[in-house]
Chain A
Amino acid sequence: MTRHIPRRARRAVPTTTALVTAAMLALAGCTAAEDAADDDAPAPGGTATAGTASGTVVLVTHDSFALPDELVAQFEADTGLTLEQRAPGDGGALVNQLILTKDAPLGDVVYGIDNSFATRAIDEGVLEPYTPDGAVAEYAIDDEGYLTAVDMGDVCINVDHEWFAEAGIPEPTSLADLTDPAYKDLLVVTNPATSSPGLAFLAATVGAFGEDGWVDYWAALRENGVKVAAGWSDAYYVDFSGPSSEGDRPLVLSYASSPPYEVPEGATEAPTGALLDTCFRQVEYAGVIAGAANPEGARAVVDWLLSPEVQAAIPENMYMYPVTDVALPESWTQFAPLAPSPVEVDPAELSENRDAWIETWTDTVIG
């Protein structure tokens, strides 16, 4: 601060400040200008004429959305639409925001509503029915076609094979095994109030043990030293003992699609695996937003999400399984099988009881 500075340098200071400020101005100026140019594209649906898909279509999605630029460019070239993406938060926040902005929709089409929030979204009237060709009936959530299934994933307990091999303990296989004292202090899960896999796992336990049994199950898990992390990242990377992690717990709540990412290049065996009898199936849906400014464009986006190109890109970009019959990446077919019979919970029941379950869970497990 009080370091002695040569006189000339001192004089230079205000000049430097001015220069830096000017540079910032210039940077900011051109940024704003450029963005404005970007936004010059017609306002969402503003110029769209009924019956034709044109103008800008706004896709509202969650913060895990990702598709390659080339696919988006191809879509825009094919349809003449401009696709604008907005990702205002995680899956739960997304649905709640759609509900809050019902009178002035955030966009034209939504992707990323999962089965735990689907019924709430439909009941609140934020969607408009649309059933594209090629919709997969198996995952349909309602009869009117408010939501179209796009992809799915299994939330399962992952196991560190190496740890169990070294310890010489057989790996658990079922939900019930996890309360076995042999597996005391080995499991880490995430909080259903703050993490979507956590909620899925809570649903799995409700599905498996019923309305009367799941609370006792969790009490037993708690007895057995289950650890609860706030989010997936710190459960997986801090507490789990897997290869890319540093922790000391060999059982973690994650996805059936996680193991391929732990396989070293060229290896034929995965160091981790998913326990396929502990899975809950998350299905992600897309739908046309009620009151969309560009409904034609919105439908075109739903069609596009079901196209073979997008479906094939989903695994590597979003770590989910496509709902249609497209080829999976090789590492997935090898190391990431889906559960043959995941635990099922009626989506309506799930939407309706979610908040109450979370509260009961919090009282039981966190205390």
Chain B
Amino acid sequence: MRHPAPPPTPPPAPVPARAGSAAVPADGGVPTAAIRARRRDLRWGRGEPGRGEPGRGERGRGGSGSDRRGRARWLRWVAWGVAAGVPLVFLGVFFAYPVLSLVGRGFVTDGALDLSGFGDVFGRDRTWRVVGLTLAQASLGTVLAVVLGVPGAYLLYRTTFRGQGLLRAFVIVPFVLPTVVVGVAFRSVLAPHGPLGFLGWDGTFAGVVAALVFFNYAVVVRTVGGFWAHLDPRTEQAARALGAPPWRAFLAVTLPALTPAIASAAAVVFLFCATAFGVVLVLGGVQYGTVETEIWVQTTQMLDLRAAAVLSVVQVVVVTGVLWAAGSARARRERALALGAPDRVRAVPLALRGPGARWSDRLAAAVTGVVVVVLLGLPLGTVLVRSLRAPDGGWGLANYANLATTGGRNALDVTVWQAAVTSLRTAADATMLAVVVGGLVALVVSRRPRSRAARRSVRVLDALFMLPLGVSAVTVGFGFLISMHDPFGLDLDLRGSTLLIPIAQAVVAVPLVVRTVLPVLRAIDTRLHEAAAVLGAGPARVLAHVDWPVAARSLGLAVGLAFAVSLGEFGATSFLARPDRPTLPVVIFRLIGRPGAENLGMAFAACVLLGAVTALVMAVAERLRSGAAGEF
């Protein structure tokens, strides 16, 4: 159910060229970006005053009296309070409160706190096995996704070739497809009679890991690629000029520079892998159960809330640990970014043959070719091919024509097109919410306040908003049902409200919006803020004229991502669905749960429709961003 049909992750950010150029004079034409970066690093490291504390601008504005300054300061705190408060309230009401309500029930027996569940659950061998398997699966899935994804990022974002745009849109598709259909497609490939049956991976650990990589490959490619596209190549060129062989220059210069993006991508992938549900179940069965599938079984089938609560705590602890580790890796590196101005960062044509052929290009093309054709291509091809097999055994578009019907002998209440419209509308609502909330979070988290405590709270805020990716959809979904009848004692039953579905989807989309917008905002040279303030701009004007123009350009991608996540979301949605108004993934789930070639064919056709809509949305979002990057 939580079948992460979630999306691709956030490509980090370009440094605005304009911002860059404004800053250049201050550096007095220092030769290499690396040195410039190091200097910045040192300055930041000391926490020297002058880094962009929110709105410190008015200091330079020369206020005409202390009361005015006092008011300005007060206003500033109110404004930042609201900016941080709105998302916190949203997360609190629609995530923390439901989750804690459910987990709380597991720890309260007859009105008294009862923690005996921990002893019981940890006394079972199965628990340890499940925790071990979760970690093993998620770690292996993450490592493989990174190892395979980095060459893909290079190929798709650092070189140019014909058909690149198509390929970029293609790799994103697996991310949003419903696991139940992909599970069937994936198993068709791996089953003994399938094209990869000789591997013997059906129902094995290897099969599960392969599927996890399938779903999350795009996260790495996009996150790392988006960042790499703007990395100043001159440092690596310098290393080469000094005699380092290409591999050494890559390992010593480029790879370390990519660390923040890789850490960011790895964290997100790990969260998705650790909470994968449908794919683990379909491909691995209970023998490869994870904490997530165990929570699902205990909650929905056994109603053992005590065990489920303990497992939820385990899940949160693991997830928090991973976020903390990734956050540290990011923080150590993020400030040393050497992002180049666009005239220096130019993707080069792919060179596979001829005198200019590069080994790096060949390697990247070979790895990516295998991934795209085998790992992504076989299952997706299976979906496409089977969508074209008409119920009568022939080939054609019969299944697509059937999308206007309610399924083989009425398997559905609505036609697939109606469901698609519901999906689009729900996703629009969810996107709105996610972009507003996520945008505010990114804005607040992008500040680098002077005081250590404030810096720490900013980091905690950053991690908090990643949590929804790491907590079981079952816990959130069941939590909604037991807490939303009178949220905080208000006489308001939200459980049947159609608004709850977009809200649940937005909770999942917010972290991705944050990860998309945040790096862009962080990359703005704070001296720009200072310069604007010195010139007399108030904090609001600084935001409007410095941050907004830059952030607006990443908005296209953020909107696209949030939209894609919402379209594919099936975890929490499945607990809140209204049968008379189902979304596309819900309809697909129903179709594939019915016998007959007609229903199966429609399920595959609907799946292709969902994939195509997603690819289209992402392609449009990408265009907006490309344009933006071009302007920098």
**Chain A residues close to B by CB (< 8 Å):** 1-5, 9-10, 12-14, 16-18, 20-21, 24-25, 27-28, 31-32, 35, 38-39, 43-44, 58, 61, 63-69, 72, 84-90, 92-93, 96-97, 99-101, 104, 106-107, 191, 193-194, 227-234, 236-239, 243-244, 246-248, 254-255, 257-258, 261-262, 264-265, 316-317, 319, 329, 355, 358, 362, 366-367
Contact = CB atoms under 8 A, between A and B. Distances in A.
A191 B299 contact: no
Contacts, number: 250
B324 interface: no
Nearest to B156: A1
B428 A17 contact: no
A150 to B, nearest CB: 16
Contacts of A68: 410, 413
B70 interface: no
A35 B301 contact: no
Counting chain B CB atoms within 10 Å of each CB, which of A99, A233, A258, A316 scores highest?
A: A233
A124 B335 CA distance: 58
Contacts of B592: 233, 237
Counting chain A CB atoms within 10 Å of each CB, which of B105, B184, B393 scores highest?
A: B184
Nearest to A261: B596
A58 B630 CA distance: 54
Given A20-B624, A63-B589, A237-B600, A101 B482 contact: yes
A120 B253 CA distance: 63
Contacts of B188: 238, 246
B332 interface: no
B482 A100 contact: yes
A5 B596 CA distance: 51
Interface in B50-93: none
B498 interface: yes
A203 B222 CA distance: 49
B429 A32 contact: yes
Contacts of B598: 261
Given A100-B478, A106-B495, A237-B600, A90 B431 contact: no
Given A16-B624, A58-B496, A316 B410 contact: yes
Contacts of B246: none
Contacts of A355: 302
B498 A87 contact: no
B160 to A, nearest CB: 8
Contact of A28 (B203, B226, B412, B431): B431
A148 to B, nearest CB: 20
Interface in B284-332: 285-287, 293, 297, 299-303, 305
B498 to A, nearest CB: 4
B234 interface: no
A90 B300 contact: yes
Given A65-B579, A237-B600, A355-B302, A2 B485 contact: no
Interface in B315-353: 342, 345-347
A2 B347 contact: yes
Given A13-B628, A92-B301, A191 B285 contact: yes
Contacts of A358: 301-302
Contacts of B477: 88-89
B577 interface: yes
Q: Which 6 A-B pairs have the closest CB atoms?
A: A261-B596, A244-B597, A13-B627, A93-B300, A104-B485, A5-B630
Q: What band does the interface of chain B fall in when counting residues whose beta carbon is under 8 Å from A?
A: 35 or more
Contacts of A86: 495-496, 577-579
A211 to B, nearest CB: 20
A362 to B, nearest CB: 6
A231 B283 CA distance: 10
B447 interface: no
Nearest to A96: B303
A2 B625 CA distance: 10
Contacts of A107: 496
B396 interface: no
Nearest to A265: B392
Contacts of A64: 590, 593
B203 to A, nearest CB: 8
Given A32-B499, A39-B496, A229-B285, 12 more contacts: A1-B626, A1-B630, A20-B624, A69-B580, A72-B580, A84-B496, A100-B303, A106-B481, A244-B595, A247-B191, A264-B393, A355-B302
Contact of B590 (A63, A85, A362): A63
Interface stretch (B139-147, B258-266, B372-380, B547-555): B547-555
Counting chain B CB atoms within 10 Å of each CB, which of A3, A32, A230 scores highest?
A: A230
Contacts of A61: 579
A156 to B, nearest CB: 13
8 contacts: A2-B345, A2-B630, A5-B626, A13-B631, A87-B577, A89-B477, A246-B194, A254-B595
B609 interface: no
B552 A14 contact: yes
Contacts of A191: 285-286
A24 to B, nearest CB: 6
Given A3-B626, A319-B594, A234 B411 contact: no
Interface in B474-494: 477-478, 481-482, 485-486, 493
Nearest to B304: A355
Given A24-B431, A44-B496, A17 B482 contact: no
Contacts of B281: 194, 230-231
B46 interface: no
A202 B124 CA distance: 24
A233 B180 contact: yes
Counting chain A CB atoms within 10 Å of each CB, which of B203, B477, B631 scores highest?
A: B631
Contact of A232 (B435, B590, B593, B626): B593
A234 B428 contact: no
Contacts of A265: 392
Interface string B208-246: 000000000000000000100110000000000000000
B44 interface: no
A31 B499 CA distance: 10
B498 A38 contact: yes
A191 B408 CA distance: 26
A2 B392 CA distance: 49
Nearest to B426: A31
B481 A4 contact: no
Nearest to A293: B493
Contacts of A247: 191, 193
A100 B496 contact: no
A2 to B, nearest CB: 5
A198 B575 CA distance: 22
B175 interface: no
A25 B435 CA distance: 11
A113 to B, nearest CB: 14
Given A64-B593, A234-B184, A261-B595, A2 B229 contact: yes
B5 interface: no
B51 to A, nearest CB: 27
B244 to A, nearest CB: 25
Given A17-B624, A44-B496, A366 B559 contact: no
A61 B413 CA distance: 14
Contacts of A9: 627
Nearest to B408: A261
Given A10-B627, A66-B412, A1 B497 contact: no
Contacts of B431: 24, 28
Given A24-B432, A96-B303, A66 B411 contact: yes
Contacts of B496: 39, 44, 58, 84, 86, 107
Contacts of B628: 13-14, 17
